[in-house]
Every structure is written in C-alpha cells, then in structure tokens.
Structure 1
Amino acid sequence: MSVGAHRTAPSAVVDNDRWFRRYSVTAAPRRRLLVLPHAGGSASFFHAWGTAFDSGTEVLVARYPGRHDRLTDPCVDSMEELADRVTAALLPFLDVPVTLFGHSMGASLAYEVALRLHGRHAVRPAALHVSSRRPPHRLTPRELHKQGDEALIEEVRRLGGTDESLLTDPDLREIVLPAIRADFTIVGTYGPRDAAPVDCPVYAYIGDQDPSTSVHDMSDWSDVTTEGFHLDVLPGGHFYLVDHQETLVRTIADRLPPTD
C-alpha cells in the first residue's frame, strides 16, 4: 500500500442523511474508515484525511449537528443519542469492512458505536482506533458544562486544536459555543461504565505531553478487548495529531484490513 502519495479524488460530498462527509474513491470501495471528531470539532478538521489513504479506502468523517453546514440542526448533548444516531446512519455503509477512529470525545463515541454494531447488528468492526481519551471504565465525571462560557473557552484553549479566532471574535464565539457546550455535556456526563468488550482489535494513540490523558490511561483500553491491543505514544499534547498527521495516517493505513 502506498500512503505517502496521496490520491486525487473528487471533492467531498455529504450523504443524504447529513451525518457523514464522504471522500469517495474512484472505484467501488473495498473498505471504509469512519472518523469521529473531538468535542467542539467538525469534519473539516480531518479534511486532509479524505484523500490520504489508498484508492480502495473510502473515508467517512462524522458531521455532528449544530456546526458548519449543520448549524441549524439541534445539537445533541447525550452520548447515548449521538451513538445511536451515528450507528443508524452507518448501517448502509457496512457492505465492506469498517474501521473506526475517534479522537478525544470521538474515541468514546467510536467505542459506543462499535458496541452497537456488534450487539445490535451482529457486525464486527475491523478495528477500533482510539486517541487521547481515557477508556470508559477510567473516566471521571466533570461538570465543566454547567459553568459559564469563559470556563468552557479556557478549557478549549488549554487542550488546543481550535482556531483562536473562533474563541476571540464575539460573533464567531456566539455561533460555536452551543456546539461546544453540547459536546462538553456529553463528555461530562459519560462514564465511568463497565469495560464491555468490543470484539475487535483496539489501537490507542496518545501525545506524551497530553494535559488531560496519560500514557497509563490509554494503556487501560486493553481492558475492552481480547482481540489484540497496541499503544502508540507520539510527541505532543492533546492535539499531537496536527503535527504528526502523516505518521498517524500511515500507521492507521498499515493497520486497515487487506483489500485483497
């Protein structure tokens, strides 16, 4: 597989169900990668991933409601509802093996989607990739979502990964704050819960200077699988994947199921 030479593909299209931004391959897809963004994040954060994989891999990036081209859609502030809706939207795309990748809040969501695929639909994901987030049984409830706007903004700044102009411009901040608060409500009210197995290999990723999650935390993702676990530690903080995108994408690509 050649990952370094990024393929040229048509512009991303949005599926009719509005939940995924799809980066279609030139032929029938042989496998799919579903990417689930972080709290306050959007599909555009992972735009470069859309054409970073080989021609047999179709990339889907979740489009959470309440932001960008879903700005008028009501935000979802419950992990259960968000996981249910993402799973339902994913069902038409299960004709080929599906791998899940989630960053931060997206890691918890990817885990919940994996549970639903197997438990409700008898579909075993090819693998679960989780980034910068404690496993479900090691989470600590937080009430940041109950605090004022400035507390939320400071937490977003602390973690990094967000355009500063969205936080400092009053008009832009008013637009993005509802989605940020909804996402932090999900984060603050999810877990801890039992380490239910996902019945697929789990790969975990963490920056060695992450202010919110430790290497030890990420190693505990091994508790949710009996199908193999591997942890990669990269240089950087909570958004290590910005500076090390090429390394991360190549690593994930090497771990995708074969297309033969």
Structure 2
Amino acid sequence: MSVGAHRTAPSAAADSGRWFRRYRATGSVHRRLLVLPHAGGSASFFHAWGTAFDPGTEVLVARYPGRHDRLTDPCVDSMKELADQVTEALLPLLDVPVTLFGHSMGASLAHEVALRLRDRHGVRPAALHVSSRRPPHRLNPKRVHTEGDEALLEEVRRLGGTDEALLTDPDLREIFLPAIRADFTIVGTYGPRRAAPVDCPVYAYVGDQDPDVPVAEMSAWSDVARGAFRLDVLPGGHFYLVDRHDVLVGTVSDRLLADG
C-alpha cells in the first residue's frame, strides 16, 4: 500500500481545481496537507494556513459547494457524497504523501476520505489529524437541521467560527443559509458508526473548554488508530484554533516533517 503515486482520469484533475484552494509550495513539493473545514465554514477561514508551513509543503483547503466562489454549485448534504467527491478530486494530487487535517465536521470527513483512499485506491495517508469532533463510534448527532432558520443560526453562533455578518445581514443570510443547512444536515445524519481503523498515525486536538467535545471523548479517536496516536489539549473552546493558531500550526508542521 503506497503513500502516493496514483494515476487517474482527467475529469478528476478538473475537479481538483474546483474543490481545493491551492497554496503552492515555494520550493519542490515534498508533501501536501489537505485541510477540511467545519460545518458552516469555508476555505477562507484557513487562509493563514496557506503560507504557514515549510517550503516543501503544499496546502490544499477544501472549497465546499454552495458558498463563495462555488456559490452556484449545488450544496451537498450527505457525508457519503461529500467524502466521495473530495476523495475523487484528491486523486490527481497523490504523487507525494498527503496528510489530512479536519476540524469539527471536517474531522469526520477526513476520516472518511482516509478510508476511501485506502480501500478504493490503495493509498495510505501520511497521517490523519482530527480536531474538535467526537470519533465515529461516540457521535451523538443533533437534529438542529430539521428546525427553523433561527434555531439553526443560533447553533452556528453558539459554536462560533462563522462570520457574524453572514448571520445578521438578511441578504447574506439568504445566500449562505442553504450551505449552512446542508452542512448541519451532514452533521445531524452521520453516526454513530463503527470505529473503522486507519493505517496511519492519528493526531487529535481539542480545546479544554469545548462545550460539545470533552477531552475524554476526543481521546477515543485512539480506537481508529492501528499505530501511533497522540492527543493535544489546548486552552479554548470549540474554535481554540483561532487563538492558538501559532501553537497548533507549529505542532502540525513538526508532525508533517516527521511523517512525510
């Protein structure tokens, strides 16, 4: 089972440009980091990550449909479909080792992509990094996506990580609410399910004051790790990674260099 070197059809290559915002390495590309945002999030949330790593690391940030430069693309509201499409778009970029990092909903998505890469394409990611999300077998999905707009927006506010202007401006709300509802439909209909293991190191991160993901629950990601597992607890809530950006990026960077 390889870490990279995969050939694929031209159609997948075209999808890569649509699905990923690409921050090219400033030197020869030795590895890629794929970042998968949270529910209600977008690639712009991780813009600072694009130039935060060593010259040999190319950063890819997923651009989910239905927002920003993919505003006219139909929203995706199932984890299966989202993971299938992200995996397909990633195939042309597996000529070097790929590490997956997912925050909140993105952590579940990263795990699903890792499984698809292995099971369908014989490719093992260099590592799986998961942040602020219970592992698959410990999920307790909320049904907020079935409620009215105000209840959904209140949940987004509670968790944070979404520009308040999108939630308060009526015109912006009308534009972005379908994407937010689609994401929370994914979150509300996914899991619990089997803790399917991955054949790569697993690194977990959580804020010590996260209202939804206790440290003990985050530690259960060890059940999907056949090999190395490490849990880092940082000060903060569900979006600890905003205030602890430098610490988190530094840790991820060190592990990128060590694993691939």
Q: Work out whether 1:107 is the aligned partner of 2:107.
A: yes
Q: Structure 1: which 5+ runs fail to align?
A: 1-13
Q: CA deviation at 1:44?
A: 0.3
Q: CA deviation at 1:15?
A: 7.1
Q: How well do the aligned residues superpose, as a CA RMSD in angstroms?
A: 1.4
Residues 39-188 of structure 1 aligned to structure 2 (within 5 Å):
39-188=39-188
Paired AA for residue 97 in structure 1: P
The whole-number CA distance in structure 2 between the counterparts of 1:137 and 1:59 is 29
The whole-number CA distance in structure 1 between the counterparts of 2:179 and 2:158 is 18
133-142 vs 178-187, which deviates more?
A: 133-142
Aligned match of 1:38 = 38
Q: 3-state DSSP class of the match of 2:50?
A: helix
TM-score (norm 1): 0.92
Q: Is the 8 A contact 1:15 1:21 kept in 2?
A: no
The whole-number CA distance in structure 2 between the counterparts of 1:259 and 1:203 is 11
Q: CA deviation at 1:231?
A: 0.3
Q: Work out whether 1:235 is the aligned partner of 2:228.
A: no
The whole-number CA distance in structure 2 between the counterparts of 1:15 and 1:88 is 8
The whole-number CA distance in structure 2 between the counterparts of 1:134 and 1:16 is 28
Paired AA for residue 156 in structure 2: V
18-27 vs 41-50, which deviates more?
A: 18-27
Paired AA for residue 44 in structure 1: S
Higher fraction of helix: 2
Q: Work out whether 1:216 is the aligned partner of 2:216.
A: yes
Paired AA for residue 205 in structure 1: Y
The whole-number CA distance in structure 1 between the counterparts of 2:91 and 2:146 is 34
Q: Structure 2: which 5+ runs fail to align?
A: 1-13
Paired AA for residue 176 in structure 1: F
Paired AA for residue 29 in structure 1: V
Q: 3-state DSSP class of the match of 1:54?
A: coil
The whole-number CA distance in structure 1 between the counterparts of 2:246 and 2:165 is 26
The whole-number CA distance in structure 2 between the counterparts of 1:155 and 1:130 is 21
String of CA shifts for 1:18-75, please: whole Å, max 9, x gaps.
Answer: 0000001133310000000000000000000000001000000000000000000000
Q: Is the 8 A contact 1:100 1:128 kept in 2?
A: yes
Q: Is the 8 A contact 1:126 1:200 kept in 2?
A: yes
Aligned match of 2:4 = none
The whole-number CA distance in structure 2 between the counterparts of 1:203 and 1:27 is 26
Q: Is the 8 A contact 2:209 2:235 kept in 1?
A: yes
Q: Is the 8 A contact 2:16 2:90 kept in 1?
A: no
The alignment covers a number of residue pairs equal to 247
Q: 3-state DSSP class of the match of 1:99?
A: strand
Aligned match of 1:8 = none
Q: 3-state DSSP class of the match of 1:255?
A: helix
The whole-number CA distance in structure 2 between the counterparts of 1:229 and 1:205 is 11
Aligned match of 2:191 = 191
The whole-number CA distance in structure 2 between the counterparts of 1:257 and 1:194 is 31
Q: Is the 8 A contact 1:56 1:259 kept in 2?
A: no
Q: Is the 8 A contact 1:200 1:225 kept in 2?
A: yes
The whole-number CA distance in structure 2 between the counterparts of 1:85 and 1:15 is 9
Q: Is the 8 A contact 1:130 1:205 kept in 2?
A: yes
25-34 vs 127-136, which deviates more?
A: 25-34
The whole-number CA distance in structure 2 between the counterparts of 1:250 and 1:38 is 20
Q: Is the 8 A contact 2:15 2:89 kept in 1?
A: no
Q: CA deviation at 1:142?
A: 2.1
Paired AA for residue 147 in structure 2: Q
Q: Is the 8 A contact 2:16 2:92 kept in 1?
A: no
Q: CA deviation at 1:258?
A: 4.7
